[in-house]
Amino acid sequence: MRSTRDLGEQIVKGILSAPVETVYPIDEIKAALAHAQRGERSGKILVASNGRSKSEGHDMANFTLRVNGERRTVAVEPDTPLLYILRNDLELNGPKFGCGLAQCGACTVLVDGKPVRSCVAPVSSVAKGHITTIEGLGTVEALHPLQRAFTRSRRVSAATAVAAW
């Protein structure tokens, strides 16, 4: 059974990923947490068995993404930020959540060779592109120049994507 903290974090993540117009009164959040502890779905917040949360009334869609040269299919809401899919569904932890405002660059990935801030890019806007995360840039045997530069300098700024570590 998951801890109350883990369940609370799932619910908060679901709330944070909900559209701005969705507002959850504290009583609904507490009720959802209580239901989640019992493995039930309740109210406006649904806690999925895979740890993702979604708000009621949003339609899921299947997207086949090309990530790091592999095709991966996910069932998500079309407005789900790419970052959440990469980290939660595809378990690629290279892109990081930093500011959530596309300012710091910690979430940057390449889509068709162009940098994209995945924290604000809805999956529906990038689904047809070729997505490359830092995991797809090189290998341990053959580092990408970016990975080599980080390794040589050993200097990392908080505002820099440090997925190689």
Q: What is the pLDDT of residue 108?
A: 93
Domains (ranges, CATH) in the chain?
4-55 (no CATH), 61-153 (3.10.20.30)
What is the model's pTM?
Answer: 0.59
Residue 158 structure tokens: 């908080």
12/64 Cα distance (integer angstroms):
27
Task: Give 122's contacts (C-beta < 8 A, 6+ positions apart).
Answer: 78, 79, 80, 81, 82
pLDDT digits (tens, 9 = 90+) for 128-164: 999 999 889 888 888 888 778 777 776 555 445 454 4
Band of the pLDDT at 3, cuts 50, 70, 90?
low
pLDDT digits (tens, 9 = 90+) for 41-53: 544 444 443 444 4
